[in-house]
Amino acid sequence: MKALVKVAAGPGLELTDVPDPTPGPTDVVVRVLRTGICGTDLHIDSWDDWAAQNIKAPLTLGHEFVGEVVETGASVTGVKIGDLVSGEGHLVCGTCRNCKAGRRHLCANTKGLGVHSNGAFAKYVVLPEQNAWVHRTPVDLDVAAIFDPFGNAVHTALSFPVIGEDVIITGAGPIGIMAAAVAKHAGARNVVITDVSEHRLDLARKVGVDLAVNVAEKTIEQAQADLGMAEGFDVGMEMSGKPSALQSMIANMAHGGRIAMLGLPAEEFPVDWSSVVLKMLHLKGIYGREMFETWYSMTVLLQRGLDLAPVITHRYDYTQHAEAFATAREGKCGKVILDWSGA
């Protein structure tokens, strides 16, 4: 089968032929229809320091996908051939304390599909039955392909109650924009999103944020004044991993405010912990999705009219992977989709 592979240590990917996967007793084989390009895939492509330390070549990339089940292992009972599924890309051990307690998103032994094992940038992908989310209601294939990052957004956006609250989101990448859409859909009073890219801020405006702020030109304090706010934001969602973003967020939180952090910093940086203590702020780290409560919430949000169409800006055939990766890397885009239906 055709697959997009990191064939050896170093920059670049190769579209090449690899053996078709075979399922273990509890696995399913999925005929991939669409995939989304993630920042992790860009790191592996460019072979930066993180990739050099964590990736073992050869490796088929990709963890954002949707497809049709074409084969099941002998012990599979809940997923059937013909089911349309999206994949949960975090592969958990099932035996640690958190897994046994039903808190699989907290598994300390988590491995990544397309990171530690062959992924979905291919004609077929194999994954555990428990990681296959079966779509029981109609869903657009492009949207189903990005359930993984959509789940990051939903997990972050719904970590704290947002009904009637003032929300600040730092980082208008695709996940930040989806989180903004979720917060607004869930009843937040004001949703403010910040970035330095006017292109991405324009995408955020399309999902209905109350204010999209270019922090190269305006401060968050000024945004508060524009909205008539006096006591700070109730809920913060840090999506950028930038030191200045978290620092500004903390400075603009209301007393008792709650911050969910998804953005992963590249290095250590100072934080005004005195403000965290004196304001009695609550900081929560977010990694991935709650399995599978977040997935249920995603499905319900889409059923009840949440529109993610503005977030998906580019679509390419899998043979155009180089152009697709270049588009994603440039950053003047939302989610970039690869179509594998012709593979």
Which residues carry a binding-site annotation for Zn(2+)? 38, 63-64, 93, 96, 99, 107
Active site residue 194: no
The answer to whether the CB of 44 falls within 8 A of the CB of 27 is no
Query: How far is 120 from 31, CA to CA, in rounded Å?
Result: 9
The answer to whether the CB of 261 falls within 8 A of the CB of 286 is yes
Active site residue 40: yes
Query: How far is 235 from 184, CA to CA, in rounded Å?
Result: 12
Query: How far is 97 from 115, CA to CA, in rounded Å?
Result: 24
Given the residues 26, 43, 219, 327, the one annotated as active site:
43
Given the residues 26, 35, 40, 72, the one annotated as active site:
40
Binding-site residues from annotation? 38, 63-64, 93, 96, 99, 107, 175, 195, 200, 262-264, 286-287
The answer to whether the CB of 72 falls within 8 A of the CB of 80 is yes
Catalytically annotated residues: 40, 43
